[in-house]
Amino acid sequence: MQIGDFFGALRRRWLLVLIGFLMTVGLSGVAYIFIKPTYEITGTVLLLPPPVTSETESVNPYLRLGGLQQIVDLVGVSLSDQAAQQEFKAISQDVDFTVRADVRTSSPLLVVDVKDSSPESALRIRDILMARVPVRVDAMQEEIYVAPKDRVTTTVVTLDGQAEEVGKNRLRAAVVAGVGGLALTLLVAAMWDARRARHPRRRLRRKKIPKPAHATTPSAEDTVEPAEDTVGTPVSPASPPQDLEALEEAADAPGDPTL
């Protein structure tokens, strides 16, 4: 089908195209409303080494961060266990969170990332995890009897103030529904027009064809019997028969004397 024929089909089936367009708009609106958005909020915690006990070492803790990567990984695993998953699922069924080391840097930086369909619940869960990081770090060291003066400490580096919508799931769903519905509408309109062009309107087929008129034989009442006195009288085929009275007068007249 050429472009001109295609647009011609759409013009002829404008009502079908209009109905499909309205249904597509409604479908896009429903998809945008019912698809839940995704909000994300993060926070980062830096683990610091214990104070120095030797005069040869620097008192600056940022110069001694190289050996803390292992404890960062352990803290991330301990805060993401099954018990924590069930606890936060009770707050929000749509929550998805991670607590792990920041792969973008070699520093012992712990990233707390929370995604949820509600910005309020995402903020609440993020704050709970951030508060548990120093408690869990201290508890892990206490379990192996590390002296308080030799324990690793924590400090907050970044903390988002509010959750922001990410992913644009609703907009993506609305666009997909709109494009799909519009394409389906155009396809159906073109196929319907092609089908109607191949098959003429059936109502023309159903019209009754007039039957040819049949010759009717005259009834007995319509047949005229010839009079008894006119039997044997010649009638010229080129001239119409005379009246019966004229024929009777000719029969009563005397015959020709010459005969």
pLDDT in tens, 170-193: 777 888 888 888 888 888 877 877
Domain spanning 37-167: which superfamily? EIF_2_alpha (3.30.70.1130)
pTM of the predicted protein model: 0.58
- Strand pairing category for 109-116 and 153-159: unpaired
Tens of pLDDT, residues 193-228? 777 766 555 545 555 555 555 555 555 555 555 555
- Determine the Cα–Cα distance for residues 98 and 96; give it in Å rounded to an integer: 7
Side chain identity at residue 37, one-letter code: P
Q: Where are the beta strands (DSSP E) in 25-95?
A: 38-48
Q: Which two tokens stand for residue 37?
A: 């958005």
Mapping DSSP onto H, E and C, the string for 12-39 reads HCHHHHHHHHHHHHHHHHHHHHHCCCEE
- Select the more confidently predicted residue: 45 or 19: 45
pLDDT reported for residue 70: 86
Q: Which two tokens stand for residue 246?
A: 């004229």
- Select the more confidently predicted residue: 53 or 206: 53
- All structural domains of the chain with their residue ranges: 3-33+170-198, 37-167
The residues near 164 (Cβ < 8 Å, ≥ 6 apart) are 39, 40, 41, 119
Name the CA radius of gyration of the chain, rounded. 53
